[in-house]
Amino acid sequence: MNAHLRIDGETLVFPIIGHPIGQVKSPASLSQIMAERGYNGMVVPVHVLPQDLDGWLQHAAAVQNCRGIVVTVPHKVASMQICSRVTARAQTSGAVNILLRDETGWVGDATDGQGFMDGVNAQNFDVAGKPALLVGGGGAGSAIAYEILARGASELALHDIDAGRRDGLIARLNAIFPGRVRVGSDDPRGFALVANATPLGMRETDPLPVQVDLLEPGQFVADVVTRPAVPPLMAAARAKGCGTMPGSAMFEAQAVLLAELLMGVRKAALD
């Protein structure tokens, strides 16, 4: 990486903020993408406590060579409040994971869903015209739900153990995609895409998010879990003959997307 990295007075700096921050792996991968493309920029981890977030964001706005910020937990919801504009997917999920500077201030976007579905597409599965089941309606799940529908799924069934959160997300999604979202369950039968947006599978003692014995060959199963490398849901789906996308593939697709947004290669989709 150092052979390609350029640091000088014209380097653009893109902080990734969180609390804690030591666990993030993306600064190196995002900076590497920029370096490989000849872009004079770098992503650096910044540890910001929740009580200091507002003040830090105000100071960041004064840094002229900071044109974007990557946001991770627990700042995704709070960072949305300082945005001058947000994308529809961010509005639906109620959180942002990237801030991009424009003439109006900070523009907020939520790219988890795009990264997830880009990873799915890379495995040669297209959800357009097909029914999908999504387990998990949190921040990432909300963005993934939006993107599944935006890419043309015929219907989306949403399952979440928090009924209030589930029903609120269904209402928000149906306001944008009328009549295409309903309550789901852990029964995956009848769905072309089965997606897990919960952390279930990170621990050996976790239950599986769906009834894997009901999976059938030809279904595509996707997961946000990155560790272990082959989460239990992926192992069970592969044993059933399903196509799969583990969380690591989402991470890789998300890295390219975030880097391209920071570099200005892609623009936030403001409707």
- Looking at the annotation, which residues are catalytic? 76
**Of the candidates 115, 52, 59, 61, the residue with the CA atom closest to the CA atom of residue 84:** 61
Specify the 3-state DSSP secondary structure of 211: coil
Taking 3-state DSSP, the helix, strand and coil percentages for the chain, each rounded to the nearest 5, stand at 35, 20, 45
Measured CA distances, 57 to 49, 79, 86, 156 (Å): 12, 8, 16, 36
